[in-house]
């Protein structure tokens, strides 16, 4: 597939998104539509669109790539996915009812009412930092693919590729915000899901495998081990660690994250929001099985055809997350290549456009108070929102450039590693608020506690083998981080004269 063909496909794709954005936002581009989609979203559209937001280009490329990683990961990621499913159920039954009872625009309004001003600003700041970093990582992954297979051909610098990508996202989200995202993400999720199934079909067709034959091929390969029960202390792949990590990372990165919760809060009522979450959870688990199957089939195909894992052009090290694009774009026919491109573009931009909207919403609501009655009629609030939108786009741009200069590991691992440190304090804050209703925090100490918690978590993680008889942390590190925050809040809190009701 030539770079010119890829470029033409990208232009057509984004032209479609611009058209949808124009149609959706032409009659209403105010703050209420941007922040909450006027609380009139259809639950089934939200459920389907959330698949694209939750999966991202990381799942699309890195998860299949890690199936055959030298570390022997195989299908161990599915253990993490099962933990995710448990986390989604906790969110549905515990957090969503709370947010709807309080009629929140920003979910960090709960922290403001429960703990106070400084706690509120701390929680919102943690989200802004965490989501900005994770969104930059996710967009980085698709940009390096576009750079390698398209823009290097035209001798366009990496920084300019990043800038073009962010300008495209900004241009179709800055007016309609969430109201536009609900529709565009539905379309993008359709491309993502379709591309997964078609990719499996095309690879099987090239290897003359039926559906049953492909299942047997994957089952009998060296890539299909799902459950790891050996070496609890020393292995990062152990079932318990993956389940705990998946559960608590999901609670923190979804249930305590303005991005995905903002979509849920755009439904008409709690009943529809919960239907959305249960439906989304079922689809999420199933689609990840197919992503892992794609990974196994890619490695089987590569081994049979002598295709080597691509190497990083800078470090020279193998990059497993480039195997999928290498095979799709250089070793299959035109149609499979188009299917792959639509999938990765849809997955990544569905995540980044949603995150950019959520970051703008959080800053405008949590720091500028645009949801407050006294500010709702002020002039130029829409213009201010546009400036905030531009600022976060610029911030993501610079973070991607920094990450590109230092990255030497798989993006999927890096995202969850960073999440363990950045989202952990949010986990501790909400756990304290929900389970210690007879105690009040020392509001002014909360920012310090949330700063110290990741620091102590890092020290413990670096010395875990020595401290815990050879124990090695993986994604469950977020539980430790949240626990340290929780204990810090508890020992600096005081008993309340009456039990808090929310």
**pLDDT at 316 exceeding the cut of 60:** yes
pLDDT level of residue 375 (50, 70, 90 thresholds): low
Angle at the Cα of 415 from the Cα atoms of 411 and 420, rounded to 5 degrees = 150
Which helix (H) or strand (E) covers residue 179, if one does?
A: helix 178-206
Percent of the chain surpassing pLDDT 90: 32
User: What's the pLDDT at 125?
Assistant: 94
| Residue bearing the bigger pLDDT, 80 or 28 | 80
Q: What is the mean pLDDT of residues 244-249?
A: 92
**pLDDT at 161 exceeding the cut of 70:** yes
Tokens of 265: 């809060």
CA distances 188 to 31, 72, 140, 142, 352, Å, are 24, 32, 18, 15, 12
**pLDDT at 78 exceeding the cut of 90:** yes
Burial class (CB in 10 A: 0-12, 13-18, 19+), 304: exposed
267 DSSP β-pair partners: 41
CB 228 within 8 A of CB 79: yes
CB 49 within 8 A of CB 189: yes
CA distance 446 to 76: 37
447-457 pLDDT, tens digit each = 999 999 999 99
**pLDDT at 391 exceeding the cut of 60:** yes
CA distance 175 to 34: 7
CA distances 305 to 199, 299, 300, 332, Å, are 17, 10, 9, 12
The domain ranges of the chain are 3-402+409-495
**pLDDT at 3 exceeding the cut of 80:** no
Give the 3-state DSSP-derived string for 76-91, with helices as H, strands as E and coil as C. Answer: CHHHHHHHHHHHHHHH
**pLDDT at 500 exceeding the cut of 90:** no
Which helix (H) or strand (E) covers residue 462, if one does?
A: helix 446-462
User: What's the pLDDT at 454?
Assistant: 94
Q: What is the mean pLDDT of residues 309-324?
A: 77
CB 265 within 8 A of CB 118: no
User: What's the pLDDT at 486?
Assistant: 97
pLDDT level of residue 111 (50, 70, 90 thresholds): very high
**For all residues of the chain together, what is the average pLDDT?**
85
Q: Return phi, psi of residue 368, to 5°.
A: -105, -10
**pLDDT at 295 exceeding the cut of 70:** yes
CATH, domain 3-402+409-495, list 1.20.1730.10, 2.60.40.420, 1.20.58.100, 3.30.360.10: 1.20.1730.10
**pLDDT at 104 exceeding the cut of 60:** yes
**pLDDT at 38 exceeding the cut of 70:** no
CA distance 209 to 216: 10
User: What's the pLDDT at 37?
Assistant: 65
Residues 6+ apart with CB under 8 A from 115: 429, 433, 440, 441, 443, 446
Neighbours of 398 (CB within 10 A): 12
Percent of the chain surpassing pLDDT 70: 91
pTM: 0.84
Cα of first residue to Cα of last residue in the chain, in angstroms, is 57
Which helix (H) or strand (E) covers residue 162, if one does?
A: helix 158-173
Q: Which of 33-37, 86-90, 203-207, 326-330 has maximum average pLDDT?
A: 86-90
User: What's the pLDDT at 71?
Assistant: 76
423-465 pLDDT, tens digit each = 899 999 999 999 998 999 999 999 999 999 999 999 999 999 9
CA distance 414 to 448: 25
Q: What is the mean pLDDT of residues 381-394?
A: 88
440 DSSP β-pair partners: 494
* Lookup result for tokens 């124990």: 471
């Amino acid at each position: 597939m030539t770079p010119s063909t890829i470029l033409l496909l990208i232009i057509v794709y984004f032209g479609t998104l611009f058209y949808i954005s124009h149609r959706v936002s032409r009659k209403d581009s105010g703050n209420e539509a941007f922040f909450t989609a006027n609380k009139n979203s259809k639950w089934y559209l939200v459920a389907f669109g959330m698949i694209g937001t939750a999966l991202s280009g990381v799942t699309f490329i890195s998860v299949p790539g890690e199936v055959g990683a030298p570390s022997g990961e195989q299908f161990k990621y599915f253990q993490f996915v099962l933990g995710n499913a448990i986390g989604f159920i906790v969110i549905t039954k515990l957090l969503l009812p709370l947010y709807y009872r309080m009629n929140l625009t920003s979910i960090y309004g709960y922290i403001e009412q429960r703990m106070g001003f400084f706690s509120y600003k701390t929680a919102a700041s943690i989200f802004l930092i965490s989501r900005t970093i994770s969104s930059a990582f996710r967009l980085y992954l698709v940009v390096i693919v576009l750079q390698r297979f398209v823009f290097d051909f035209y001798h366009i610098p990496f920084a300019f590729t990043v800038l073009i990508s962010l300008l495209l996202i900004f241009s179709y989200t800055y007016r309609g915000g969430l109201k536009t995202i609900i529709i565009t993400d539905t379309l993008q999720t359709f491309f993502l899901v379709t591309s997964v199934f078609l990719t499996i079909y095309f690879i099987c067709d090239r290897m003359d495998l039926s559906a049953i034959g492909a299942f047997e091929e994957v089952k009998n390969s060296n890539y299909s081990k799902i459950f790891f029960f050996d070496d609890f202390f020393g292995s990062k792949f152990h079932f318990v660690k993956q389940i705990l990590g998946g559960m608590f990372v999901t609670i923190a990165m979804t249930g305590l994250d303005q991005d995905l919760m903002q979509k849920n809060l755009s439904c008409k009522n709690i009943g529809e929001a919960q239907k959305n979450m249960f439906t989304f959870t079922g689809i999420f688990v199933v689609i990840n099985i197919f992503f892992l199957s794609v990974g196994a089939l890619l490695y089987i195909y590569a081994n049979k055809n002598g295709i080597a894992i691509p190497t990083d052009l800078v470090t020279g090290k193998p990059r497993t997350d480039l195997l999928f694009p290498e095979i799709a774009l250089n070793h299959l026919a035109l149609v499979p290549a188009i299917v792959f491109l639509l999938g990765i573009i849809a997955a990544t931009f569905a995540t980044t456009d949603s995150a950019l909207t959520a970051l703008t919403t959080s800053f405008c609501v949590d720091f500028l108070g645009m949801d407050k009655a006294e500010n709702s009629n002020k002039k130029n609030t829409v213009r201010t929102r546009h400036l905030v939108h531009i600022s976060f786009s610029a911030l993501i741009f610079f973070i991607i450039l920094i990450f590109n200069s230092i990255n030497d590991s798989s993006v999927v691992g890096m995202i969850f590693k960073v999440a363990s440190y950045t989202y952990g304090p949010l986990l501790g804050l909400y756990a304290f608020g929900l389970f210690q209703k007879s105690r009040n925090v020392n509001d002014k100490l909360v920012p310090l506690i949330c700063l110290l918690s990741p620091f102590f978590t890092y020290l413990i993680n670096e010395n875990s083998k020595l401290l815990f008889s050879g124990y090695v942390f993986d994604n469950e590190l977020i539980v430790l981080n949240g626990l340290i925050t929780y204990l810090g809040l508890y020992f600096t809190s005081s008993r309340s004269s009456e039990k808090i009701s929310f």
